[in-house]
Amino acid sequence: MPFLARTLLATWLAISLSFVCLRHLPGDAISAQLTAGGADRAYIDAQRERYGLNQSILSQYLTYWRDLARGDLGRSYLSGLEVVEIIRQPAMVTARLASAALVIGAVLGIIVGVAAGYASQPVFRSLAHIYTTLALSLPSYWTGILSLALLGTFLPSDGDAGGELARSFLMPAALLGFHSSGAVAVITRDSVRGALGANFNLTARAKGLPERIILHRHILRAVLPPIIRVIGLGAGYLFSGVVVIEGLFLIPGLGGVVVNAVTRRDYPVVQGVVALVVIIIALISLVVAALTWLLDPRVRTDEGVL
């Protein structure tokens, strides 16, 4: 199956699964809120009919996809506002944080991976191994709590602009980048080690080329496609791990929106966030596949690359 078809299928399954699962949870926001407020059954039924909750699951499903195809994510059961308006600003906050973390993770991961796979000094390889182990094994909530404690010690919350920037952006982005860099470092290390024994590397050394030229023009170019793939996969982790970090640092992103919507059973908002994240990840996957196809001639002959 072509990659584009697989991506579209995965996107459809993820969005459909969230729709079905949410519809089978007990209760909904309208019934829960109105019952708690003392509304009678007739009024509750009228509100459920207004939002189409009295229709069959199939009818709701078809209506949902019809609206989604037009860019309509529905309306909140509680506020009545369009879901697009509710998640627009938080999505921008999360996107900025995730983008910065992705860049930090890619740069750190490549540097550490090259040091682990190419450096001749054992001390560099040992330090790189310790780094990747910590990045992959430490829970993000633990490092987040530790970072908050350190910020409270060295940058007390006194209205200082630098301290607020560190709390709301720099430290969270660095933490997410640190954790996502572990996988990049491992793939980079293994790819570099594999490239060292390749024919092109042996030929370059036989010609007497400087180590700097061999590393930049030959080895890094050869290992770039797998690095790009793992960076693309790391984007999915960032959109899941960012929820924990946003909660710890009180960042008004999508994480808080999802938690609040789930708690209050405002399912259109949950579905809207899920659909947005799934579509973004699918687009990133397509970009990664296209870059890999352009950079690595070997994959152009594989069946179903795009």
Encode pLDDT of 252-268 as tens digits.
888 889 888 888 778 88
Neighbours of 73 (CB within 10 A): 22
Query: Long-range contacts of range 207-215, CB-CB < 8 Å, 24 or more positions apart?
Result: 215/114, 215/118
Q: Are residues 242 and 281 in the same domain?
A: no
Supply the pTM of this predicted model.
0.81
pLDDT tens digits for range 74-109: 888 878 889 999 999 999 999 899 999 999 999 999
Q: Average pLDDT for residues 230-241, to the nearest whole number? A: 77
φ/ψ region of 18 (left if φ > 0, alpha if ψ in -120 to 50, else beta) reads: alpha
- Domain count of the chain? 2
Q: Are residues 257 and 282 in the same domain?
A: no
The reported pLDDT for the residue numbered 305 is: 47
Cα angle 39-42-45, degrees, rounded to a multiple of 5: 95
Residue 185 located in a structural domain: yes
DSSP 300: G
Q: Are residues 256 and 281 in the same domain?
A: no
pLDDT reading at 12 higher than 90: yes
The reported pLDDT for the residue numbered 101 is: 92
Burial class (CB in 10 A: 0-12, 13-18, 19+), 192: buried
Q: Average pLDDT for residues 274-294, to the nearest whole number? A: 87
The reported pLDDT for the residue numbered 105 is: 92
Q: Are residues 121 and 205 in the same domain?
A: yes
Return the percentage of the chain with pLDDT > 90, whole number: 19
Q: Are residues 255 and 169 in the same domain?
A: yes
The reported pLDDT for the residue numbered 268 is: 87
Grouping H, G, I as helix, E, B as strand and the rest as coil, residue 138 is coil
The reported pLDDT for the residue numbered 28 is: 62
**CA dist., res. 300 & res. 222, Å (int):** 15
Q: Tokens at residue 187, please? A: 């793939």
Residue 55 located in a structural domain: yes
Where residue 259 sits, what CATH number does that domain have? Answer: 1.10.3720.10
Q: What is the mean pLDDT of the chain?
A: 82
The domain boundary, picked from 230, 246, 264, lies at: 264
Cα angle 6-97-136, degrees, rounded to a multiple of 5: 70
Neighbours of 214 (CB within 10 A): 19
Q: Are residues 177 and 210 in the same domain?
A: yes
pLDDT tens digits for range 15-60: 999 888 887 776 666 666 666 666 667 777 787 777 777 788 888 8
**CA dist., res. 211 & res. 140, Å (int):** 37
Q: Are residues 255 and 271 in the same domain?
A: no
Q: Are residues 126 and 256 in the same domain?
A: yes
**CA dist., res. 91 & res. 20, Å (int):** 24
Q: Tokens at residue 185, please? A: 């470092």
Domain encompassing residue 224: 98-264
